[in-house]
Amino acid sequence: MQAHHAAWDLRNGQPVPAGMRLHRTCQTPECVRHWVLDRQYRKLDERAVRAIRESRLSGPALAKLYRIGREYAWKIKRGLARRT
Ligand SMILES: [Zn+2]
């Protein structure tokens, strides 16, 4: 596991969700602290979509985890939304 993923895991109490990318928010290439989930949910990849569909979490919980809209999470869970 990469250092910034491990650091994110420690800070948030959960691993980086499947298929999500971390985005560095400061200028230091080696920085392990200033990372956030990529908030652009249109970038959810196949793994993320599958993980959401197969997850037992509720729509709102998934929306929070993946930083996406609740309605979008709900649609993915029901197979109504596809990757754009
Ligand atoms: Zn930093």
Distance 68 CA to ligand 1 centre (A): 24
Does residue 41 carry a pLDDT above 60?
no
Whether pLDDT at 40 is above 60: no
Sketch the domain layout of the chain as residue ranges.
3-77
SS (H, E, C) 35-62: EEECCCHHHCCHHHHHHHHHCCCCHHHH
Do 48 and 23 touch, CB atoms closer than 8 A? no
Cα dihedral value 32, 38, 43, 45, nearest 10: 50
59 alpha carbon to ligand 1 midpoint, in Å?
32
Distance 35 CA to ligand 1 centre (A): 8
Kind and range of the H or E run holding 10: helix 3-12
State the residue for tokens 């908030």. Answer: 39
pLDDT value at 24 more than 80: yes
- Confidence label for 42 from pLDDT (cuts 50, 70 and 90): low
For the segment 23-32, the average pLDDT, to the nearest whole number, is 87
Model pTM above 0.85:
no
pLDDT at 46: 81
Cα 3 to ligand 1 centre (Å): 13
